[in-house]
């Protein structure tokens, strides 16, 4: 085997690894955990590169494991959908055995790494994998309520960073969980809308009413409103007796977060009016921008005030 063949083979393996662990998604999830970590530390002097790296690597392993298990379980269904038929397992580039070994290894490595931070972080990471693979994934072909179940592991990463920093599950950690929990619904229902026909081929019915109708669009609007409310909760902490919280949000930042939420809500109303794939895609993109922007605002508010 010549060097060119080896290089090509290595590129293929790396590409399959990126795809089977959904590198883009995994990195975005790790970003949420890192944001939660920064919010959990008292000041930059408390920052630990060791904890930071353990959280990033362990978090990627846990999300990558979940994604690999998911593709292993759904390999036959993935073959039916245009967007997933070329995934490594569905296309036959990675065998079931190798995929299972990879998922198991990532799970064990991830749990051990997160345990090195503290046991609570490892526990929540393990809960996330269990719910995603053992509950959410099987429910996707059974009921639209699967999205509610999937929102739980999906909401853990933001909170996970806080727990890594504080070794404590507190009201603040619960607030971070709540924000990302409500965010899941408009985000995934928007995806379920513009990929409706493709999902239908595999028997996935992700929309709350099962159809691309006003009922689904209305629920997207309602959950976006709940998301906006949850996102500005830290601003009222001092007014309800929670003084000196690490998660306090100043009024100016709360207004910025609110306006970003209104911007996302605009696209939710646009979907309600137009009810087409283009509007759903715009809402999905705005939701991705929303969660990233508010996390950056939270961090900037904490360290720049």
The burial class, CB within 10 Å (0-12 / 13-18 / 19+), for 20 is buried
Answer yes or no: are the C-beta atoms of 216 and 209 closer than 8 Å.
yes
User: In 167-250, which ranges are continuous DSSP H helix?
Assistant: 171-194, 196-201, 214-231
pLDDT (mean) for 82-98: 92
| Residue 72 confidence (pLDDT) | 95
Stretch 19-38: mean pLDDT: 94
Residue 3 — very low, low, confident or very high, per pLDDT cuts 50/70/90?
Answer: very low
- Separation of alpha carbons 278 and 281, rounded Å: 5
On whether the pTM is more than 0.75, the answer is yes
pLDDT digits (tens, 9 = 90+) for 91-144: 999 999 999 999 999 999 999 999 999 999 999 999 999 999 999 999 999 998
**The dihedral of CA 292, 294, 298, 300: what is its sign?**
positive
Task: Count CB atoms within 10 A of the CB of residue 263.
Answer: 13
User: Which whole number is the average pLDDT over 47-63?
Assistant: 96
pLDDT, tens digit (0-9, with 9 covering 90-100), for 178-228: 999 999 999 999 999 999 999 999 988 889 999 999 999 999 999 999 999
pLDDT band at 149 (very low <50, low <70, confident <90, very high): very high
- Average pLDDT estimate for 139-168: 94
Q: With cut-offs at 50, 70 and 90, classify the pLDDT of residue 34.
A: very high
Evaluate if residue 236 carries a pLDDT over 90: yes
Mean pLDDT rounded to a whole number for the chain? 92
Whether residue 18 has pLDDT greater than 50: yes
Q: Which pLDDT value is given to residue 5?
A: 42
Cα separation, 258 vs 72, in Å, equals: 40
Tokens of 93: 């580039």
Does residue 158 register a pLDDT over 80?
yes
Q: pLDDT class for 4, splitting at 50, 70, 90?
A: very low
- Whole-Å CA distances, 187 to 82, 157, 221, 266: 21, 16, 11, 14
Asked whether residue 11 carries a pLDDT value surpassing 90, the answer given is no
pLDDT tens-digit map of 183-196: 999 999 999 999 99
């Amino acid at each position: 085997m010549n060097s060119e063949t080896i290089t090509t083979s290595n590129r293929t393996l790396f590409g399959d690894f990126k795809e089977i662990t959904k590198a883009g998604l995994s990195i975005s999830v790790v970003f949420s955990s890192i944001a939660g970590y920064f919010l959990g530390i008292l000041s930059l002097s408390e920052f630990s590169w060791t904890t930071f790296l353990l959280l990033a690597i362990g978090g990627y392993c846990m999300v990558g494991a979940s994604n690999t298990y998911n593709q292993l379980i759904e390999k036959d269904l993935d073959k039916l959908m245009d967007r997933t038929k070329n995934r490594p397992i569905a296309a036959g580039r990675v065998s079931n055995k190798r995929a299972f070994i990879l998922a198991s290894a990532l799970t064990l490595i991830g749990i051990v790494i997160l345990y090195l931070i503290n046991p609570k972080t490892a526990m929540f990471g393990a809960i996330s994998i269990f719910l995603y693979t053992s509950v959410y994934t099987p429910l996707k072909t059974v009921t639209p309520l699967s999205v509610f179940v999937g929102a739980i592991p999906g909401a853990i990463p933001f909170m996970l960073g806080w727990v890594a920093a504080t070794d404590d599950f507190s009201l603040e950690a619960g607030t971070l969980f709540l924000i990302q929990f409500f965010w899941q619904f408009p985000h995934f229902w928007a995806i379920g809308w513009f990929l409706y026909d493709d999902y239908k081929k595999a028997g996935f019915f992700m929309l709350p009413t099962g159809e691309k109708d006003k009922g689904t669009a209305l629920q997207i609007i309602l959950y976006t409103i709940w998301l906006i409310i949850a996102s500005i909760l830290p601003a009222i902490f001092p007014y309800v007796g929670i003084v000196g919280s690490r998660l306090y949000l100043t009024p100016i930042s709360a207004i910025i977060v609110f306006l970003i939420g209104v911007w996302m809500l605009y696209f939710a109303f646009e979907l309600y009016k137009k009810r087409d794939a283009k509007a759903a895609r715009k809402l999905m993109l705005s939701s991705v921008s929303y969660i990233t922007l508010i996390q950056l605002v939270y961090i900037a508010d904490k360290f720049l005030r």
